[in-house]
Amino acid sequence: MATFSKVNDWILNLHNAPDVDVNSDVLQFKLTNTAYASETPNPLTDTNGIAANATDISYTNYTDDMGTDRVLEGVGSTQTAGVYKLDANDIVITASGGALAAFQFLYLFDQTAATPVDPLMGAWDHGSTITLANGESATVTWNAAGIYTVT
């Protein structure tokens, strides 16, 4: 099971960024095999929470059940008794045309937001490297409680 890490800047962006709207913005993910603390700067720390601070894998031989764009589908949110929940459809990642580059980490970011550009929302560590040979798939299954909750 993947471990969720909060991106510190996302809480600030939810309250202050003028163009963040997770219900209508395009939410996209990126895969990497570089640990958070090994990135320069660490994208989880204050003032560093943008997609450009996380190293992408090569998406050669990549496809997902949404095509190749790594955009989440079925994004929606609810609020009950002061608890906000963001959710989306699970993702099936497939190596197609050859092996996919190894990855261990997934970052979710708001691809529409411009201030800041592509703010990171959260990160997940699978705990070990995932390798997919041609035709093999891996499924990103969000927590039953949603991608994340804010209380």
The larger pLDDT score, comparing residue 1 to residue 56, is at: 56
Region 5-20: mean pLDDT is: 91
Amino acid at the residue 76: G
Region 101-123: mean pLDDT is: 96
Measured over the CA atoms of residue 62, residue 140, residue 65 and residue 118, the dihedral's sign is negative
**Among candidate residues 151, 119, 138, the one with its CA nearest the CA of residue 57:** 138
The pLDDT of residue 67: 81
Number of domains in the chain: 1
Q: Is 108 exposed, middle or buried (0-12, 13-18, 19+ CB in 10 A)?
A: buried
The pLDDT of residue 66: 80
Residue 10 has pLDDT above 70, yes or no: yes
Residue 1 has pLDDT above 90, yes or no: no
Domain that holds residue 83: 3-150
Note the pLDDT tens digit of each residue in 25-78. 999 999 999 999 999 999 999 999 999 999 999 999 999 998 889 999 999 999
Q: What is the distance, to the nearest Å, from the Cα of residue 40 to the centroid of all Cα atoms in its chain?
A: 19
Note the pLDDT tens digit of each residue in 120-151. 999 999 999 999 999 999 999 998 888 998 88
Q: Is 13 helix (H, G, I), strand (E, B) or coil?
A: helix
pTM of full prediction above 0.75: yes
